[in-house]
Structure 1
Amino acid sequence: MTEQEIIKILEDSGALLTGHFQLRSGLHSSRFFQAALLLQYPDKAETVCRFLADQFRGQGIETVISPAVGGLIVGQEVARALGVRAIFADKEDGRLVLKRGFAIKPGEKVLVAEDVVTKGGRVQQTVDLVRGMGGEVVGIAVIVDRSGGDAKFDVPFRSALKLSLPTYEPAECPLCKQNMPIDRPGSK
Structure 2
Amino acid sequence: MDQAQVLDEFRAAGALLEGHFILTSGLRSPMYLQCARVLMDPRRAERLCAALAAKVRDALGADPIDLVVSPAMGGVVVGYEMGRQMGVPAIFVERVDGTFALRRGFDIPQGARCLMVEDVVTTGLSSRECIGVIEALGGRVVAGASLIDRSDGKADIGVPLIPLARLAVPSYPADALPPDLAAIPAIKPGSRGLK
> TM class by shorter-chain length?
over 0.9
Give the equivalent residue in structure 2 for 1:177: 182
- AA aligned opposite 2:147: I
- 1:161 pairs with 2:165: yes
Q: Deviations over 1:96-154 (max 9, x none)?
A: 10000000011011100111111001000111111101111011010110113321133
Q: Which amino acid aligns with 1:177?
A: A
User: Which region of structure 1 is more displaced relative to structure 2, 57-66 or 103-112?
Assistant: 57-66
Give the aligned partner of residue 136 of structure 2. 132
Amino acid of the residue matched to residue 182 of structure 2?
K
What is the identity, as a one-letter code, of the residue corresponding to 1:94?
A: G
Match among 70, 75, 85 for residue 74 of structure 2: 70
Structure 2 residue runs of 5 or longer lacking an equivalent are none
How far apart are residue 155 of structure 1 and its match? 1.9
In 2: Cα distance, 1:90 partner to 1:154 partner: 20
Superposed displacement of residue 29, structure 1? 0.8
How far apart are residue 186 of structure 1 and its match? 2.2
Segments of 5+ residues of structure 1 without an aligned counterpart are: none
TM-score relative to the length of structure 2: 0.92
Counterpart position of 2:94: 90
Aligned-residue offset at 1:33: 0.6
Superposed structure 1 runs of 4+ greater than 6 Å apart: none
Q: Which residue of 2 aligns with 1:16?
A: 16
1:108 aligns with 2:87: no
Deviation for aligned residue 1:53: 1.2
Tell me the alpha carbon deviations over residues 130-183 of structure 1, each in whole angstroms, 9 at most, x when there is no partner.
1101111011010110113321133221111111112111001135632x2211
Alpha-carbon separation, structure 2, partners of 1:84 and 1:46: 15
Q: Equivalents in 2 of 1:153, 1:125: separation in Å?
A: 9
Match of 2:47 in 1: 47
- Could you tell me which residue of structure 1 aligns to residue 25 of structure 2? 25
Query: Which residue type is aligned with residue 133 of structure 2?
Result: L
Tell me by how many angstroms 1:76 deviates: 0.5
Does the 8 Å contact 1:170/1:176 carry over to 2?
A: no
Distance 2:40 2:91 in 1: 20
Q: Distance in 2 between matches of 1:156 and 1:114?
A: 13
Question: Which residue, 76, 80, 90 being the options, matches 2:84?
Answer: 80
Supply the distance in 1 between the matched residues of 2:98 and 2:111 (Cα, whole angstroms). Answer: 26
TM-score (norm 1): 0.95
User: CA 1:176–1:6 in 2, change beyond 3 Å: closer, same or farther?
Assistant: closer
Structure 1 Cα separation of the partners of residues 25 and 134 of structure 2:
22
